[in-house]
Amino acid sequence: MKSMESLRQQLGSNPRLQIGLLLAMVLVFAIAIQALDGWRKTHQQRAIQSELALRKARQMQKQDIWKNRSQETASAKAAMLEEIPTVATPGMAQAQMQTWLQGLSKSLETDKDARISVSAPIEMEAHPGIYRIRATVTMSSHPALVFAFMDMVESAPHLAMVETSQITSTASNLGATINIIAYYRSSETDAGSTP
């Protein structure tokens, strides 16, 4: 205790000691600030590197996703093209669709009640050589036969679908109008590059 008292008395009486102590305290404070700043910069650099690594991993992950999606899309496109029948000319596609729908109607024994109208083939802009054909089938048959007909269209081995249908079933009126779309491709498309 006496040594602390004597130190205080010397410090109080000597202004040089006071200035030296103040400079020592400022120096210790500056060193502490510098050490904290170095620690902060190190952690900041680590955080930046971690963020860059995370971004790079996410970009790599996205590339894999797009690569997989591209492969899936190519597979789906190839499978869909396999479902599109090949014909020599667009007119043959129209005739083939007419014959196919008549065959379905005959198999259900609704051919006497059915009227089939097939429109001209339309070449798809995005896929040259592939034709879209729309047919309208009007029937005056029982709804069960109409649904069986639509089921046969939808389960066809080639790409065809029921676009719209309207069925009327009353005591005095049985009827249906079915719009069907089918796709065909020309043999020229097969000989050349597949769209």
First to last CA, the chain: 98
Q: Which two tokens stand for residue 62?
A: 């996205």
| Mean pLDDT (whole number) for 49-72 | 80
| Mean pLDDT (whole number) for 163-191 | 85
Q: Could you give the count of Cα atoms lying within 13 Å of 155 in the half-sphere of its Cβ? A: 7
Other Cβ atoms less than 10 A from the Cβ of 114: the count is 22
| pLDDT at residue number 17 | 78
Question: What confidence category does residue 79 fall into, taking pLDDT thresholds of 50, 70 and 90?
Answer: confident
Q: How does pLDDT run across 135-173, given as a tens digit for each residue?
A: 999 998 888 899 999 999 999 988 999 999 999 888 788
| pLDDT at residue number 189 | 56
What distance separates the 2 farthest-apart alpha carbons in the chain? 128
Q: How does pLDDT run across 98-112, given as a tens digit for each residue?
A: 999 999 999 988 777
| pLDDT at residue number 192 | 45
For the question of whether the overall pTM of this predicted structure is more than 0.75, the answer is: no
Please state, in angstroms and rounded to a whole number, the distance separating the CA atoms of residues 106 and 96: 15
Q: How does pLDDT run across 10-59, given as a tens digit for each residue?
A: 777 888 878 888 898 999 999 999 999 999 998 899 889 988 888 887 77
| pLDDT at residue number 1 | 64
DSSP 129: T
Would strands 160-169 and 130-139 be described as parallel, antiparallel, or unpaired? Answer: unpaired
Q: Which of 109, 108, 103 is nearest to 135 (CA)?
A: 103
What backbone torsions phi and psi does residue 160 show, to the nearest 5 degrees?
A: -150, 150
Would strands 114-118 and 86-87 be described as parallel, antiparallel, or unpaired? Answer: unpaired
Ramachandran bin of 151, using left for φ above 0, alpha for ψ from -120 to 50, beta for the remaining angles: alpha
Question: What confidence category does residue 193 fall into, taking pLDDT thresholds of 50, 70 and 90?
Answer: very low
